[in-house]
Amino acid sequence: MNATRRSLLAAAAASALPLPAFAQAPKLITKSIPSSGEQLPLIGVGTARRYDSAPTEAEKAPLRETLKRFHDLGGKVIDTAPSYGQAETVVGDLVSELKIRPGLFLATKVGADNAEAGKAQIEASFQKLKTERIDLIAVHNLRDVTAALATLRGLKQAGRIRYVGATTSFDNQYADFEAMMRRETLDVVQVDYALDNRGSADRILPLARDRGMAVWVNLPFGRGRLFQATQGRPLPDWAKEIDCTTWAQVFLKYVVSHPAVTTAIPGMAQARYVDDNLGAARGRMPDAAMRTRMEQFIDSL
């Protein structure tokens, strides 16, 4: 997480509730995957950048504590990818050490130039994640999408994966992504969306809802821009109306309160960020009027 986020939480860390108190907190709010009805908590863990290098034991300790805390507080979704450096291996090792695989929803991606390369990449993901079944594999950024989806559907039919999806995080892919969503049947799509980055709400999010596809959101903090824009600013009074005590919770509640969004996957590499971010999966959510108010606020900065 960027330095701005760290500075915003530094004062709060000293007074953070201990784990036993959090364990008594209300359960995390969930939404369903339309194709199955399976419920997932509103907030998951993204692993890009923060888990991408093979850590020393000292570096691994906070990552281990992060995933332990996440699991202990009811979190499920962990999202990774072969293109995230060593992230699949790091996640696989930690999940195995902690013995928490049965309680998690593990997701990864395939992004290769042809079918054979894609199959090899997928098999490597099973090995790195140390699991016989992966909950979701998504075609990454529309790479070789037709061949990759054919492979994934075969794996789903064989019971090795549970869900099939596709991802993008680039505006210049939106038109092609929308066309793919119209012609393909998918369980989950993943797209960038944030309070200051609302382009996917114009067509992709409504289309996903119409097509019965769950939506996972990457980059829910706008690549750090939202923390930079609000650095040094107190929370507005209206944050209390949606039970937010930090800016991170404001930003995340805006994202997950969209009717089409199932889960947001911010990066988390410290336990205190788990405590903070999972607060966005509890309490009152913004209604349409509040969402407009939030947009007007951020646009005025």
Q: What is the pLDDT of residue 55?
A: 87
pLDDT at residue 56 in the model: 92
Strand bridging mode 161-167 / 77-79: unpaired
pLDDT at 103 over 70: yes
Question: Across residues 104-117, what is the average pLDDT?
Answer: 98
Distance CA 135, CA 163 (A): 6
Look at residue 14 in the predicted model and tell me its pLDDT: 35
The first and second tokens of residue 164, run together, are: 């099939």
Predicted pLDDT at 26: 82
Query: Cα 143 vs. chain centroid, distance in angstroms?
Result: 20
Average pLDDT over residues 178-205: 98
Residue 262, exposed/middle/buried by CB under 10 A (0-12, 13-18, 19+)?
A: buried
Nearest to 245 by CA among 98, 25, 97: 25
Q: How confident is the model at residue 17 (pLDDT cuts 50, 70, 90)?
A: very low
29-300: what fold?
Answer: TIM Barrel (3.20.20)
- pLDDT confidence band for 10 (50 / 70 / 90): very low
Instruction: Evaluate if pTM is beyond 0.75.
Output: yes
